[in-house]
Structure 1
Amino acid sequence: MVADDVRRWLGRATLALIALPLLFALGAWIGSSIPRNADWQEPETGVTIMVGDNGVHTEIVMPILAQGHDWRALFPPGDIANPQRPYTHVGVSWGERTFFLETPTWADLEIGNALGAIAGGDALLHVAWYVRPAPSEDYRRLTLSAKDYRALAASIAADLAPGARRFGGYGGHDVFYPARGTYHLGRTCNQWTSDRLAGAGIRTGWWTPLAGGVMKWVPQG
């Protein structure tokens, strides 16, 4: 009887391990397919930003100076190791602190850090500086009206935790800053991206825990 109970328990545990990722993926697909700001139309002229995607993580790339908003006032170039280059854009993303700081490459990925991020943790902003970034399949352009861009910039700036120290980045062109909010499975780095876009009135998905759920709303070309 004990052996039968153990087998039944192991069978149920195995089914749960298989079912939970599938349910999460299905929920992510459904949630990301429900639009926010469904009536939004991309203007022909305005401020051009980019939404970047490395397959797992997304970022918002913006001109250093546009519509009176100068990112150098909030993120001083002197905070990065190589501030002398003629940077034109800044990319901002949000994520879990330990995972960000201890996973500079996917080769450094540890199961403990990944599970810790899923369970929840303090957040950081990752700020990367770019010189004339070119559009590509992974960096897609999006044109915003002046009003929408100002709203987007203000919401991103508001996520910086005041008076907090910075952390060194992965190279000479990036840096981390403590951010407001807590990372968890319901609010991932990609959800942050779509929340910032939606908050500025831009069409995007409702729940986008995965990068693909963000990028499906950003047209190529």
Structure 2
Amino acid sequence: MKLRQIILKVISILVLLPILYVLIALLCSSITIDREIKSETADKTIYLTTNGVHLDVVIHKSDLSKQLLLGLKKRYTDQYFSFGWGDENFYINTPTWGDLTFKNAFSAMFLKSTTLMHVTRYRLKGTDWVEVKVTASELELLNNYLQNTFRLDKNGAKVILEDQGYTSIDDFYKAKGSYSCFKTCNSWLNTGFKQSGMKACLWTPFDFGLMNKYE
């Protein structure tokens, strides 16, 4: 095979792979994993919120387990806590999309990396949050999923990154796992919903995948 043909073949593969990824992601996002049938009443409320790319789950302080709440930075006025997960380098060095670089994006998507939990505290409920009704059992499982994502120190405490939050109401904590194009911030939360027995996508790297199931 001539060198020119090899180069064209490689280029074709490089062009087709992202297209194939998006098509598979859209298909898997459209497939719904139904909520497990339970005898309990879904009388608890949590919320989904997005910045347009990154999806977070928001839980009222009274619905957080003692274990999950323990070690979180908080004030007495904080009523809601949002939780997100993602690549450490991307979180810290890309506070806005204007700060996005090819190096940071490539590293997050394809290289093994450390991750963080991003916790934001609110006094009031957001007007654009999407309401999700859950049972007490589902809420307990989701609390456990979130707690188990935090990486703890040798004393069993959450590890906060001091003075690394974007604002005065958000903080970063060390987390378990490695980010990739197959395990994104949004697929992480989707997995949490599935493992909690809640309605979710088969798989989704996008924020709208899970959000569309509840809007």
TM-score normalized by the length of structure 2:
0.87
Q: Equivalent of 1:148, from 95, 120, 138?
A: 138
Matches within 5 A, 1:88-167: 88-119=79-110, 120-136=112-128, 139-163=129-153, 165-167=159-161
What amino acid maps onto 2:187 in structure 1?
Q
Question: CA offset at residue 13 of structure 1?
Answer: 3.2
Equivalent residue number for residue 87 of structure 1: 78
Moved over 3 A (4+): 4-7, 37-41, 67-72
Cα contact 1:52–1:140 (8 A) shared by 2: yes
Going from structure 1 to structure 2, the CA distance change for 1:194 and 1:57 (only over 3 Å counts) comes to: same
Q: Report sequence identity in percent.
A: 26
User: Aligned with 2:132: secondary structure?
Assistant: strand
Question: CA offset at residue 126 of structure 1?
Answer: 0.5
Cα contact 1:74–1:157 (8 A) shared by 2: no
Equivalent residue number for residue 178 of structure 1: 174
Structure 2 unmatched ranges of 5 or more: none
Q: Distance in 2 between matches of 1:63 and 1:24?
A: 36
Cα contact 1:64–1:70 (8 A) shared by 2: no
Question: CA offset at residue 210 of structure 1?
Answer: 1.5
What amino acid maps onto 1:149 in structure 2?
L
Higher strand share: 1
Q: Distance in 2 between matches of 1:143 and 1:213?
A: 18
Matches within 5 A, 1:20-39: 20-39=17-36
Going from structure 1 to structure 2, the CA distance change for 1:45 and 1:206 (only over 3 Å counts) comes to: closer
What is the number of equivalent residue pairs in this alignment? Answer: 207
Cα contact 1:123–1:181 (8 A) shared by 2: yes
TM-score normalized by the length of structure 1:
0.84
Structure 1 unmatched ranges of 5 or more: 78-82
